[in-house]
Structure 1
Amino acid sequence: MIAPYEAAGAEEIAEILATQPAAVLTGAGISTDSGIPDYRSPGAPKRNPMTWQQFLESEAAQRRYWSGAAKGWRRMGRFEPNAGHLALAALEAGGYVVGVATQNVDSLHRRAGSKHVIELHGHLRTVHCLPHGHVETADSLLARIRADNPWLADERVTEGPDGDAAIAEELVDTFVLPRCLECGGAMAPDVVMFGNFVSAENNRAATQLMNRADALLVVGTSLVVNTGVKMVHRARRQGKPVMLVNRGATPVDALAQFRVDGSTSAVLERVAELLGVATPAA
């Protein structure tokens, strides 16, 4: 049973979705109830993520990145969709949501059953080589990394929010870098790292999603990334209502019809309940 204070604002969201199906934009805040940490909410630990430029500049940076990914990515696969992910999938199946644009790389929306998912910042399912773009599954690459660096099995790490992890520097220096199986080139993740750009294809898809929707529901993001802010401004220009569900303020609060400061899972689960769509148990 959801406590009333936890689902405050759900009635207003349900009332809008009942007649105005929404595009949904999600961020790290929707996945925290699955156990994945974020790094922008109040009290989140400070971190200094690697930029795309740093990754490209040196093999030392690539060793640091892939040694952390070898630990962090494997753990990411053990997280399960929570009630918020499942509620959005149910709302899409019921016709109240037209699709989800997510800034997360955890694939939890897909695993929850959402059909129309735009992964703005990529995902952890595959990797590619820098010289030619040859694709390899992440599972295959990580298996090769662990075989070449058996010490990873014993190393204790600090987990990060995007499937990364902190490894002791003296161990990173010994890390054997993975190479492309086809050309021997350096490997890169299929994620948008800081300093890189969302693909033109995903930008177009997000625009089309917003054009098809009658409203925008923003869930679990502080909206400091320009991609999400663009969707809010597009919705406003089109005269479509904007609803925010997030713990903590965002830079675009004044542009929303209303905002809910609370649990994304509790609010979305209550919205699905009010609209009479079935949500599997989380």
Structure 2
Amino acid sequence: MSLSQKLINNSLIFVPKHNPVCEADLKHFSDFLLRCKRLLILTGAGISTESGIPDYRSDGVGLYARSNSRPLQYQIFIKSYEARRRYWARNYVGWSRFSSFQPNGVHLFLRDLELEYHKVSSIITQNVDNLHFEAGSKRVIELHGTGFRVVCLGCDMMFSRHYIQDMLKFLNPNMIETSQYIRPDGDVELSDDDVKEFTMPTCPSCHGILKPDIVFFGENVPKETTRAVDKEINFCDSLLILGSSLSTYSGLRIALKSKELRKPLAIVNIGPTRGDNIADIKIGKRCGELLSKISLSKLCRLV
């Protein structure tokens, strides 16, 4: 096996088992793209798994399949000092690896579809990994926020996560800040002994509670984000969902509302989704494999 093939295989360790793309898949997807002029795209964890970031729910390889761990609930983060300290300790150790992940072919395909071929009205992502922006996409709505910003719950000031990492390193000079293991939102598992000596940061401005600018489980999507999403649903002429099972209502709602407005809907995702029964096209294959076989230059010449 060549080095390049080994690297590809290593980056796909969190992608669940799937069948190869067939000619019928390519035809259905190409026909869908040909008809789109203002395409709204919703992306989920199933595209970031191809960069080596695990998801929560994938059969056999997601966090829930490999561990009894569950994401920290918003109310517990707010109410419990110990829960916040444990979260920040794990996030500190995982940050170096989480922030080093790179965009894959799916992110680059969507960038080109937007910037070179002008078919994308907006990308709505459920991911918090910043990879759409790293790839160069411009019109991106981060539905669940981003792990690359930190907000103060006291004064609402925003900080770069890299700045907070430097602060954490200063406060915890004896703690190792790297890990090979990573969870979907960038933290890692740590023992109680690892956590008990950890010093949490507070807001440099008001000493309030700091929280990653991520919509935690049990927390509502901000109203301004919901309004921006609704505007894009109304403006688009079609909806494409990539790598999402639509398990969270914030994602499913986008599919339901677009269908209510009679917008064509295509879903590409390994395994079933909550939107399969309303999709015009469902392709149960790996997003990266499908998109790698689509020639945008040839396709767009046909328009």
TM exceeds 0.5?
Answer: yes
Tell me, in whole angstroms, the C-alpha distance in 1 between the residues paired with 2:159 and 2:48: 26
Quote the residue 2:199 is aligned against: 176
Sequence identity, in percent?
36
Shifted more, 42-51 versus 268-277: the winner is: 268-277
Quote the residue 1:216 is aligned against: 239
Quote the residue 1:259 is aligned against: 282
Describe the SS at the equivalent of 1:223: coil
**Residues 60, 7 of structure 1: CA spacing in aligned structure 2 closer, same or farther, 3 A cutoff?**
farther
Q: Is there any run of 5+ residues in structure 1 with no aligned partner, and where?
A: 278-282
Tell me, in whole angstroms, the C-alpha distance in 2 between the residues paired with 1:269 and 1:208: 30
Quote the residue 2:58 is aligned against: 41
Q: Is there any run of 5+ residues in structure 2 with no aligned partner, and where?
A: 1-18
1:272 CA drift (Å):
4.6
Quote the residue 2:299 is aligned against: 275
Quote the residue 1:25 is aligned against: 42
**TM-score for the superposition, normalised by structure 2:** 0.86
Task: Map 1:80-159; keep pairs closer than 5 Å.
Answer: 80-93=102-115, 94-153=117-176, 158-159=181-182
1:62 CA drift (Å):
0.6
Shifted more, 174-183 versus 6-15: the winner is: 6-15
1:188 to 211, 218, 238: 211
Quote the residue 2:97 is aligned against: 75
Shifted more, 193-202 versus 155-164: the winner is: 155-164
Tell me, in whole angstroms, the C-alpha distance in 2 between the residues paired with 1:149 and 1:251: 44
Paired amino acid for 2:257: R
Quote the residue 1:280 is aligned against: none
Describe the SS at the equivalent of 1:67: helix
1:228 to 251, 256, 267: 251
1:238 CA drift (Å):
1.1
Tell me, in whole angstroms, the C-alpha distance in 2 between the residues paired with 1:74 and 1:5: 34
1:74 CA drift (Å):
2.2
Task: Map 1:231-242; keep pairs closer than 5 Å.
Answer: 231-242=254-265
1:189 CA drift (Å):
0.9
**TM-score for the superposition, normalised by structure 1:** 0.92
CA contact (8 A) 1:91 1:272 kept: no
Describe the SS at the equivalent of 2:56: coil
CA contact (8 A) 2:94 2:178 kept: no
| Partner deviation per Cα, 1:165-217 (whole Å, 9 max, x = no partner) | 11111221111010111111121110101010111111111111111111110
Tell me, in whole angstroms, the C-alpha distance in 1 between the residues paired with 2:233 and 2:294: 20
Alignment RMSD (CA, Å) = 1.8
Q: Does 1:57 align with 2:79?
A: yes
Paired amino acid for 2:123: V
Describe the SS at the equivalent of 2:21: helix
Tell me, in whole angstroms, the C-alpha distance in 2 between the residues paired with 1:155 and 1:220: 28
Shifted more, 156-165 versus 239-248: the winner is: 156-165
